[in-house]
Amino acid sequence: MRLENKNAIVTGGAGGIGRATALAFAAEGAKVAVVDLRADAAEAVVAEIRAAGGTAVAIAADVANEQDIQRVIATTVEEFGGVNVVFNNAGIIRRTTAVETTAEEWDMVFGVNVKSIFLMCKHIVPVMAANGGGSIVNTGSGWGLKGGGQAISYCASKGAVVNMTRALAIDHGPQGIRVNSVNPGDVNTGMLREEARQLAQDTDAFLAESADRPLGRMGEPAEVAAAVVWLASDDSSYVTGSALVVDGGGIA
């Protein structure tokens, strides 16, 4: 039970990597606030956690909205008594080049992928600091480290996540708050299927391409969750500002 007596917030907790991480956090003993735009899907994850004997609450919220973020934190503190762990994971993608991307789409991607993390940290750091510290994990991407094609706003946003994570680690380390990013390669979630749709590609062919890496397959959400559990737990007590890559060796 590596997260016993910890209270955690997981954003984007209703889907893919967020859902797997919410389940893994609960299995390690944490109480989990499952935050997502999709209220019913968040409730379903909470039901799964409770059925397994864990403690969780669903909170419907838009992570790009400051009032929603403040409500998420207030509700979690009210329900669990404090917050030790935050997984800033909600994210969206637009598979377009700069020429094809509208200014509105750019702002939307940055709102969900980047501003959300700023807002969460702005309001959670004082809560964590008053409680002796905590661990924040932000979902970047392999494309935030090396770039990728036809996803200009996404690549820029995930690069911002990686560097914002380092800046947060520098500012708040002295308060006992560790901040790291987890950077997945292709992971078997709804996002990959959404990318195939946006690119008007055959889903099976698109998913098959994801296997083109040294380990010969795409990742599963639980494999990212396992890395996030480590970063959230005291097992990684001397790790902050790092960009942990979980991508089956997706070097190209």
Q: Are 43 and 37 in contact (CB under 8 A)?
A: no
Residue closer to ligand NAI by CB (options 153, 189) is 189
Residue closer to ligand NAI by CB (options 139, 240) is 139
How far is it, in rounded angstroms, from Cα 9 to Cα 198? 30
Residue closer to ligand NAI by CB (options 141, 242) is 141
Q: State the minimum distance, in angstroms, from the CB of residue 175 to ligand NAI.
A: 25
- Active-site annotation holds for 238: no
How far is it, in rounded angstroms, from Cα 214 to Cα 193? 22
Out of 25, 80, 143, 154, pick the active-site residue: 154
Dihedral (CA of 242, 90, 92, 247) sign: positive
Task: Kindly report the backbone phi and psi dihedral angles of residue 7, in degrees, each rounded to the nearest multiple of 5, phi listed first.
Answer: -110, 130
* Interface residues toward ligand NAI, by CB under 6 A: 11-12, 14-18, 36-38, 62-64, 89-92, 112, 139, 141, 184, 186-187, 189-192
DSSP-derived secondary structure letter, 200:
T
Secondary structure element (H or E) that encloses residue 36, with its range: strand 31-36
Catalytic residue numbers, as ranges: 154
